Amino acid sequence: MRYVDAHVHLSDPEYGKHVDNVIEDARRSDVVALVSNSTNLQTSLRSIELAERHPKFVYATVGIHPWNVKGLLQNELEQTTDLITSHRRNRGVVAIGEIGLDYKYVNGGKKELMSKQHEIFCRMLRLSEELALPAIIHSRGTTQEIMDILASYNIKKVLLHWFSNPIELLPKIVERGYYITEGPATLFSSDIQEVVRQVPLNSLLTETDGPVRFFKPPFNGEMTTPAVISLIVDAMAKIKREERMQVAEQIYRNFMTFFGNG
């Protein structure tokens, strides 16, 4: 059995000095690929470092998460885009991410901050288009807006991470050839289970979004690691009424299609 974690934050400080153990535990759990998503310049550099230390197992993405727009340091956007461009040449970066829009935590100066999120998201999308790199997108509460924006770009590979709603957009997402990733919530969330039910298996990928913590059984607040991917595949297989081997292999093929030429 071959499992993949298409969206994990190995460069997150919570993994810290334990990250090599997390990676080795994933190997022992039949995980064959980890995509280390980044959220700012610092985590981007760390993701690249981890990918260099664990070649052909850890793959780096570089980007600025919408939550980090407010605290962006001077020149950080330029340094991040330069990092993507320079490492694209030697395939050290397989995608741009995690990028997107999210207004949930926008408080004071809301209009200005929303505008800044939009500006940085569009800069990342232009780079994705220019360099022919996949885009990994955070779209909580903004999926319709993001779909409208994406229509203006020629980006062939788009992954909507932890998609939950609106479910009415799924046919358009699939029609455009975009991918959906789902993770631990597949085991307990009826909304996510319905997404998995409706998304064709050849448009689906697995993720953990680790080290995010889930407080429903069987996770019970423990730090999430890629070792739980097999549980997610089992849950998807039950929802799809397919053999788990078939589901795991199709998800692996999807992974290779999406990232293989990155």
Over range 46-56, report the average pLDDT: 95
Indicate which CATH number applies to the domain containing 33. 3.20.20.140
pLDDT in tens, 61-85: 999 999 888 888 889 999 999 999 9
Count of CB atoms situated within 10 Å of the CB of 190: 7
The CA–CA distances, whole Å, from 66 to 136, 146, 152, 261 equal: 12, 13, 20, 27
Query: Residue 212 belongs to what domain range?
Result: 3-259
Q: Say which residues have a Cβ less than 8 Å from residue 215's Cβ, sequence separation at least 6.
A: 221
Residues in the chain: 262
What is the distance between the alpha carbons of residues 27 and 21, in angstroms, rounded to a whole number? 10
Over range 205-226, report the average pLDDT: 94
pLDDT in tens, 133-188: 999 999 988 999 999 999 999 999 999 999 998 999 999 999 999 999 999 999 99
pLDDT in tens, 216-242: 999 999 999 999 999 999 999 999 999
What is the distance between the alpha carbons of residues 102 and 205, in angstroms, rounded to a whole number? 22
If one counts the domains in the chain, the total is 1
3-state helix, strand, coil in the chain (%, to 5): 50, 15, 35
- pLDDT, position 30: 97
Count of CB atoms situated within 10 Å of the CB of 237: 17
* pTM (2 d.p.): 0.94
- pLDDT, position 262: 40
The CA–CA distances, whole Å, from 243 to 202, 205, 238 equal: 15, 16, 8
